[in-house]
Amino acid sequence: MADALQTTYNRLPVAFEYGEGAWLWDTEGRRYLDALSGIAVCGLGHAHPKIAAAIAEQAHTLIHTSNLYRVPLQEQLARRLCALGGMDQAFFCNSGAEANEAAIKLARLHGHRRGIARPKIVVMEGSFHGRTLATLSATGNARIQKGFEPLVEGFVRVPYDDPDAVAALGGDPEIAAILVEPITGEGGIRLPRPGYLQELRELATRHDWLLMLDEIQSGIGRTGQWFAFQHEEIVPDVLSLAKGLGNGVPIGASLVSGRAIDLFTPGSHGTTFGGNPLVCRAALAVLDVMQEEALCEQAARHGDVLLRLLQERLAHRPEVVEIRGRGLMLGIELDRPAAELVRRALDRGLLINVTAERVVRLLPPLITDDDQITEIADTVADIVSRFITKHKEQKVTV
């Protein structure tokens, strides 16, 4: 009864019935290798026995009370995440968009504390921060903003990976924060130059701005560190998390440190479902498995292998603009729109995604093994090569 659903997605003609590890099976019994992991959500793959057991046990014990009361599992998860990221406090919510909404509110509170009547946040062109009205307004993509005007005010947009453009705003007394992705996700897996985050950190400290990092896609081991900012050895003031934190159970988090501590006070922010015992138990189980199986290190190692294999197979083609990324967050940019590759991969039993119109995005589960990494590289290289050849032939025919 698909017609009973609002048309917010162009869905592919497949429905999945069950999964195991990096594999999914559809309702017709056909097997697919998942190189997207629900857009960086299922880092531990599908039906991981320890995650399933933790969820089932908690469901039989206590699913939800309210944030009106103490939630010991939430306190435990906050301590674990803060220790991993060098942060101090956590607020739990239901999604990445909610985590970024919390960050935006923190920036405004910080601005008002400094005496700024209309605080502004520096955001980046090509960024993606969510689809609620405030996060949509922060996002640097006019296409997805279209039709939802008037947008929320208070965002100043500059080019990504351009610290000089941010520095040029140093004279604006209304700036209160910077919001940036360490690696863009929806924006096409763009990796900034080394030192970019360090320069933003220095600018934020100098001007008393909050440095707020959106790690909704790049966090929880995806890039080979627990958080992508740790590649540059900085500490942000605000850190937004979601996706991989619950391995499919909806949970988001906004972590704070330094000047962002204690900006929220009782009644200034809240959530009904966020951080309930069920989702916190799932997230704690995710962290346990990641540490027991050293999955950050595995993501770094397998990401290097996948990047090398893709470069060996595709980098010589002039139609391939760049193959880039870090850990298991990789993109192949072509010189033309490439949306049809998603269906071609599906027909070959591989789940991928195309973002920013012409970037093949690969986000396989962190538990993907050596043979599966090779299969992803072989299949992607083959469909991209065939796609390029087909377009060449069509051009000659015309």
Q: Which segments are annotated as binding site?
A: 96-97, 128, 131, 214-217, 271-272
Q: Are strands 175-180 and 120-124 parallel, antiparallel or unpaired?
A: parallel
Alpha carbons within 13 angstroms on the beta-carbon side of residue 322 total 8
Pick out the residues of the known binding site for pyridoxal 5'-phosphate: 96-97, 128, 214-217, 272
Q: Measure the CA–CA gap between 119 and 96, rounded to whole angstroms.
A: 22
Q: Measure the CA–CA gap between 262 and 229, rounded to whole angstroms.
A: 23
Q: Measure the CA–CA gap between 352 and 357, rounded to whole angstroms.
A: 13
Pick out the residues of the known binding site for N(2)-acetyl-L-ornithine: 131, 271
Which H or E run includes 378?
Answer: helix 370-397
Q: Measure the CA–CA gap between 312 and 84, rounded to whole angstroms.
A: 35
Rg of the chain (C-alpha set):
21
Q: Measure the CA–CA gap between 49 and 20, rounded to whole angstroms.
A: 9
Q: Measure the CA–CA gap between 135 and 151, rounded to whole angstroms.
A: 10
Q: Can the peptide bond before residue 150 be classed as cis, meaning omega within 30 degrees of 0?
A: yes
Q: Measure the CA–CA gap between 345 and 324, rounded to whole angstroms.
A: 20
Active site residues: 128, 214, 243
Eight-state DSSP code of residue 193: P
